[in-house]
Amino acid sequence: MSSAELRDEPASQPVRSSTDVFRSGRVIDVRSDVVEMPDGSTATRDVVVHPGAVGIVALDDQERVLLVQQYRHPVQHRLWEPPAGLLDVAGEDPLAAARRELFEEAHLTAGRWDVLLDAFTTPGMTNEAVRVYLARDVADATGPKFAVENEEVDMPVRWVPLDEAVAAVFAGNLHNPMAVMGLLATARARDNGFGTLRPADAPWPARRA
């Protein structure tokens, strides 16, 4: 099977009923679906409804990647991760959101953008889809910095050599999924001369799931 033939396929099982279990009014909702199985039986599946997100691996001309350290309360860890943000503005282009997040979290701009990867973060429980971009030709942004709040008030920023960051992934020291996926994908792309990257405006049909 070629790489072109190896692909996930959209599909859906009939939903007999669906109930909104929880609405946070912030990031997530929880829905409970009664789903028809292939043998005609039914099973209840709880779904965390999520707007999706983008992440940015910023790579400078010294082959360093930008990581920010942010407190994540559900796992009670301060995680090193790439700049990232929710796609919670209706109709917003993902690339525009990525540019905004790079500016807000790191006060940087980038002259070149490519798609590194698309992923479902936890498909057994949530419909969250993420797109991770590779940003190159990075430079300091002009104008005032974005006024941060909440966890981002105490958010260290560090430039890390790409190979050291990848080694930290394999050592079990980094756990954020965008960091793990993005760093490994960046190293692979670099080793291939960046020739296999998709353009920044590549279609993202999986997000519609």
Query: Chain-centre distance of CA 40, in angstroms?
Result: 36
Closest CA to 175 of 54, 85, 101, 78: 78
What are 25-32's contacts with CB under 8 Å, separation 24+? 27/51, 27/86, 27/88, 28/126
Count CB neighbours of 20 within 10 A.
Answer: 10
C-alpha closest to that of 21 among 35, 31, 11, 7 = 31
Helices (H) and strands (E) in the chain, counts: 3, 11
Q: Is 104 a catalytic residue?
A: no
For residue 168, what are its two tokens?
Answer: 């930290």
SS3 at position 142 = coil
The CA radius of gyration of the chain, in Å to the nearest whole number, is: 19
Torsions phi, psi for 170 (to 5 deg): -70, -20
Question: What is the token pair recorded at 36?
Answer: 């028809």
Q: Are 159 and 66 in contact (CB under 8 A)?
A: yes
Per annotation, catalytic residue among 36, 92, 104, 152: 152
Which residues carry out catalysis?
152
